[in-house]
A and B are shown apart, each in its own frame.
Chain A
């Protein structure tokens, strides 16, 4: 059974560091499968106008396509070009909950993420996505600085 690593990207340069670390780990371990995930922050309890609701499905598809094209696909391409086995996915939801759920669902042995980029008020009130993931994760988490 091969080792599966889940790399969580956030669309920032810090995500690049997580990707580089995951790539390095995979090379060292060998026979490693990499799963690159980008989570679009989304709450089913947010408030929207009727018009936004009517357009939501279309917007969701656009958001997934854009994230796939700009963030996930380039990362997967880079990994496969390095001779690694890699795939990618984009999901909506709470970043920490979703990364953990995917890790469990896909049987990942470890999650690699970068230190959070959030700051200020949001971080003080809700905590960072990375901190929440570390606290809630069902599998080991490596946080890249």
Chain B
């Protein structure tokens, strides 16, 4: 509570200094930013989310799910077969003690998770459940389990084809495996895909990795301290991010990186407490999830609506197939690239199957979603686009209300968690975007500074714009990355299978064995 006051009072004080006339002007500035942004990004969003002819099913959702399914079968359910091995790798059982001080598997996983665990798990799930009903959770879990194979594929390639420079630094990611992997196989077009991916990665970094975070952080703060112009939050966030990524004030990022995991544990812990207190409703909640998954329980678009929302938000949350994780995981020190693939498959499990499910269960159990008692179906809002909620909340506000209905003070903790998650995700994505930027425009201080300044400007735009256009653009940009990345993965997955066969054989023969620590 005290921590919240420290955070909230300066913002409230800042907001109170805005006169009515200024506020009017500020609001209209938000509106103008919003309108201009929606107009500018509309065609791009429409293309990415275009439905299959004659249906309302976006092709991009099918693209992701089919890819995850293909990878799952192609690698013979690697996510199940090597699950315990992945845990052993993260524990360090296979780490050479002489490599102590290098990036460990745990650290690479934790860093990648700090980029994915965040608002997607809190706000994104609320969006999915708010529109698609509890049934969306089922599809989200399925997408998470399948997505483990996509993550495995891209992260193995990320380490295998990373650039290791003479000074000891590394750069990795899809753009490197596209250009180098295609060349190795004698295939044309690798460079073109790499350039396309880099462009979309920059847009993704500015969208989901930046604007969505700023937008929802503002929604959370204003939900507690009262409404005030979004650009104020944007400017504050931009200033702090600028201090870290341009000013080099590492202590802010270091503190965040240490606090965020504890906020994540606190969040899951609070969800578990709520579930434990309402243990008699858990069976009912799972009933709603299963029934909703196949019938929709009255949500817009029926069960297809639930499915689309579940798959979309899972992909947005765990980023499997998107390619971002391949950038984060490529820094690990290992002679076996595939080991990082095994470790990375834990990411969708933690992010989606565990944390997202917790959020969805709490929202369902808290009964914030209004149900027609006669039919048992969910009641839609006036626009007919989403489920009506108590207090007409959506996104992070819905999650906050759900937790708040059980633990009255938790919205304050959640506000801090949202701000920290948003911040850590921004820092992670500023790096992903920067790697794509430097791939396109070359390394160099001026080039890097240009990207970092653009990144900070988009924080202000994201905080000022309304949720609809921001979430559409964020989804579209991140899914555009997946279009290019998965195309490349189809061509390169046979290289991963060679690695997998070789590693499996050596593991079985005892050539690869645990180190005695």
Contact = CB atoms under 8 A, between A and B. Distances in A.
Interface of A: 40, 42, 44-58, 60-61, 63-64, 91-93, 97-98, 101
Given A49-B427, A93-B97, A54 B169 contact: yes
Contacts of B92: 44
B101 A50 contact: no
Nearest to A105: B97
B100 A98 contact: yes
Nearest to A97: B517
B227 interface: no
A55 to B, nearest CB: 6
B253 interface: yes
Contact of A60 (B101, B111, B115, B254): B101
B432 A44 contact: no
A53 B257 contact: no
B276 interface: no
B438 to A, nearest CB: 11
B424 to A, nearest CB: 8
Contacts of B301: none
The prevalent SS among residues of B at the interface is helix
Given A56-B102, A58-B168, A50 B261 contact: no
The prevalent SS among residues of A at the interface is helix
Interface in B219-267: 250, 253-254, 257-258, 260-261
Contact of A48 (B100, B105, B170, B257): B257
Given A49-B253, A50-B331, A92-B101, A57 B106 contact: no
A101 B515 CA distance: 12
Contacts of B254: 49
A27 B100 CA distance: 33
A48 B254 CA distance: 7
Interface in B67-126: 92, 95, 97, 100-108, 110-111, 114-115
B168 A53 contact: no
Nearest to B324: A50
Given A47-B258, A48-B257, A58-B167, A53 B103 contact: yes
A98 B331 CA distance: 24
Interface in B446-471: none
A92 B261 CA distance: 24
B485 interface: no
A101 B97 CA distance: 10
Given A57-B169, A58-B169, A93-B97, A50 B104 contact: no
A50 B111 contact: yes
A66 to B, nearest CB: 13
B106 A48 contact: no
A47 to B, nearest CB: 4
B191 interface: no
A60 B102 CA distance: 7
Given A93-B97, A93-B100, A44 B107 contact: yes
B106 A50 contact: no
Contacts, number: 92
A18 to B, nearest CB: 22
Nearest to B259: A47
A98 B169 CA distance: 26
Residue in B92, B168, B258 whose Cβ sees the most chain A Cβ within 10 Å: B168
B171 interface: yes
B107 A48 contact: yes
Can you list the 8 inter-chain pairs with the closest CB atoms, starting with the nearest?
A: A92-B101, A58-B168, A44-B104, A53-B331, A92-B100, A50-B431, A57-B168, A60-B101
Given A44-B95, A47-B261, A50-B428, A57 B115 contact: no
B333 interface: yes
A46 B101 CA distance: 11
A44 B100 contact: yes
B328 interface: yes
B317 to A, nearest CB: 18
A105 to B, nearest CB: 9
B259 to A, nearest CB: 9
Given A44-B95, A44-B107, A54-B170, A49 B100 contact: no
A53 B169 contact: no
Nearest to A39: B100
Given A54-B331, A101-B97, A48 B111 contact: yes
B327 interface: yes
10 contacts: A44-B106, A47-B107, A49-B431, A50-B432, A53-B108, A57-B170, A58-B169, A60-B101, A91-B100, A93-B97
B115 A48 contact: no
Residue in A40, A50, A56 whose Cβ sees the most chain B Cβ within 10 Å: A50
A56 B331 contact: yes
A45 B517 CA distance: 15
Nearest to B432: A50
A55 B107 contact: no
A141 B144 CA distance: 51
B101 A40 contact: yes
Given A47-B261, A50-B432, A55 B111 contact: no
A53 B111 contact: yes
Nearest to B104: A44
A53 B428 CA distance: 11
A48 B103 contact: yes
A57 B427 contact: no
A96 to B, nearest CB: 13
